[in-house]
Amino acid sequence: MRRYLASATLLITTISAASQWNIQDAHTTASLRGIHSLGNGVAWASGTHGTVLRTEDGGHVWQHCTMPPNAEELDFRGVQAFDANTALVMSSGKGFVSRIYKTTDGCQTWKLVFTNPDEDGFFDSIRLTHDKTLQVLGDPVKNTFAMFLSDDAGDTWFASGTPGREAPAGSGAFAASNSSLIYLDPFMYFGTGAGSTTAPQVYRTHVNCAPPPDKPKGFPNNCTVAWMATDVPLGITGSTSGIFSLAARVGAQGKDGTNKVILVAVGGTYDKPAQTTGTAAISDDGGQTWKLATALPTGFRSSVAYDPSTKAWIAVGTNGTDVSTDDGHNWRALKPGPNDALDADKNWNALSLPFVVGPHGRIGVLRPSAVAAKP
């Protein structure tokens, strides 16, 4: 596949005027699943056949990046960026096919910084958590969800030792939109598919403070970070079903003086995109308890995001887009406007607002007025 230098290839997008959906043309046929919007017009996107794209002007121009070394057959399911010049892309696949590359010069050159050390492993999601800290979630290896960390902006990686990531038989995560793993300071969460005999689950971090054995009363506790799993009642079973995406926001302050964490999980059954059973669930206590949404999204949804400017949640998938303005309790379909293409709401994979990406190089920008509009 021909390699394009980011500094040499400038591709002008076409944007439909006065529409709810601004569809952009990045001149690629790659299926895009990775998208990371940094604000101020800067965003990175990634997909099949080693494709990485970058914009510095809100998508008016999408630049084709140089392909990372030996990445012609790789599917970059995740991208996380620090700025317009520095980013990491994550490929998904069995064993060594799962890799992480890094660029520091605006994607003109790349360096392979990490390869999955487990021959049966599979990277699902990469997430930037602090200034220089990143974490990667992988499918279970030896009955435990894999987790890898970097504390130097992705230059070096090591396996996580945090306990509590034991996986039920048949369980795994999904690399559908790079949003099965999320971070809301100071907590992390990841969602899973249904196990052989278990419901989908959300794992969350918590502080585990166990008193040291044989120490006098009042001796400081030994506090460590651990994971805890909770079933999510999406009401679906099978290897193609479960939680495909999570999003979170900080809610109102409770009686105990702490802020609530609102979580929304979306998914369904990806090979039955029109099936509405178990497509969204909500938690208003930081993931401790979950309940099914009252009015569900109208099909399988692979990505969800919260938009603070409109106080709305947006969920996208192969057969449509849905919006909730009551923290995920009720969803309504967001349909194309009179100036939109008839399928403008469909065939989307992943969100990083205001951008949405999909197969065959689809990139769009959601207008706030469309999200906030009442049915």
**220 belongs to a structural domain:** no
Task: Work out the pLDDT band at 6, boundaries 50, 70, 90.
Answer: very low
User: φ and ψ at 29, to 5 degrees?
Assistant: -105, 10
Contact of 307 with 328, CB cutoff 8 Å: no
pLDDT in tens, 28-87: 999 999 999 999 999 999 999 999 999 999 999 999 999 999 999 999 999 999 999 999
Distance CA 283, CA 184 (A): 14
User: φ and ψ at 370, to 5 degrees?
Assistant: -70, -40
pLDDT of residue 322: 95
Task: Work out the pLDDT band at 3, boundaries 50, 70, 90.
Answer: very low
pLDDT of residue 340: 84
Task: Work out the pLDDT band at 133, boundaries 50, 70, 90.
Answer: very high
pLDDT in tens, 309-319: 999 999 999 99
Distance CA 298, CA 304 (A): 14
* Tokens representing residue 241 in the block: 């079903």
pLDDT of residue 211: 63
Mean pLDDT throughout 331-347? 88
Please write down the HEC assignment for all residues of the chain. Answer: CCCCCCCCCEEECCCCCCCCEEEEECCCCCCEEEEEEEECCEEEEEECCCCEEEECCCCCEEEECCCCCCCCCCCEEEEEECCCCCEEEEECCEHHHCEEEEECCCCCCCEEEEECCCCCCEEEEEEECCCCCEEEEEEEECCEEEEEEECCCCCCCEECCCCCCECCCCCCCCCCCCCCEEEECCEEEEECECCCCCCCEEEEEEEEEECCCCCCCCCCCEEEEEEEEEECCCCCCCCCEEEEEEEEEEEEECCCCCEEEEEEEEEEECCCCCCCCCCEEEECCCCCCCEECCECCCCCCCEEEEECCCCEEEEECCCCEEEECCCCCECEECCCCCCCCCCCCCCCCEEECCEEECHHHEEEEECHHHHHCCC
pLDDT above 60: residue 8: no
Peptide bond preceding 186 in cis form (omega within 30 of 0) = yes
Task: Work out the pLDDT band at 339, boundaries 50, 70, 90.
Answer: confident
**290 belongs to a structural domain:** yes
**108 belongs to a structural domain:** yes
pLDDT of residue 373: 54
Task: Work out the pLDDT band at 372, boundaries 50, 70, 90.
Answer: low
**2 belongs to a structural domain:** no
Mean residue pLDDT of the chain comes to 90
pLDDT of residue 7: 39
Mean pLDDT throughout 289-297? 97
Mean pLDDT throughout 265-273? 95
* Tokens representing residue 286 in the block: 């930081």
CATH number of the domain to which 337 belongs:
2.130.10.10
Among 265, 263, 271, residue whose Cα is nearest residue 241 = 271
Rg of the Cα atoms in the chain:
20
**218 belongs to a structural domain:** no
Mean pLDDT throughout 96-122? 98
Query: Residue 223 to residues 144, 184, 207, 238, 289: CA-CA distances in angstroms?
Result: 22, 20, 6, 37, 24
Dihedral angle sign, alpha carbons of residues 91, 167, 227, 292: positive
Percent of the chain with pLDDT over 90: 75
* Tokens representing residue 207 in the block: 């502080």
**162 belongs to a structural domain:** yes
pLDDT of residue 12: 39
The domain in which residue 238 lies consists of 10-203+232-372
Please provide the distance, in angstroms rounded to a whole number, between the alpha carbons at the two ends of the chain.
Answer: 45
pLDDT above 50: residue 187: yes
Contact of 267 with 314, CB cutoff 8 Å: no
Dihedral angle sign, alpha carbons of residues 335, 336, 341, 344: negative
pLDDT above 60: residue 19: no
**58 belongs to a structural domain:** yes
pLDDT in tens, 343-363: 889 999 999 999 999 999 999
pLDDT of residue 308: 93
pLDDT in tens, 205-216: 988 776 666 665
Question: Residue 282 CB: number of other CB atoms within 10 A?
Answer: 21
**299 belongs to a structural domain:** yes
Report how many domains make up the chain: 1
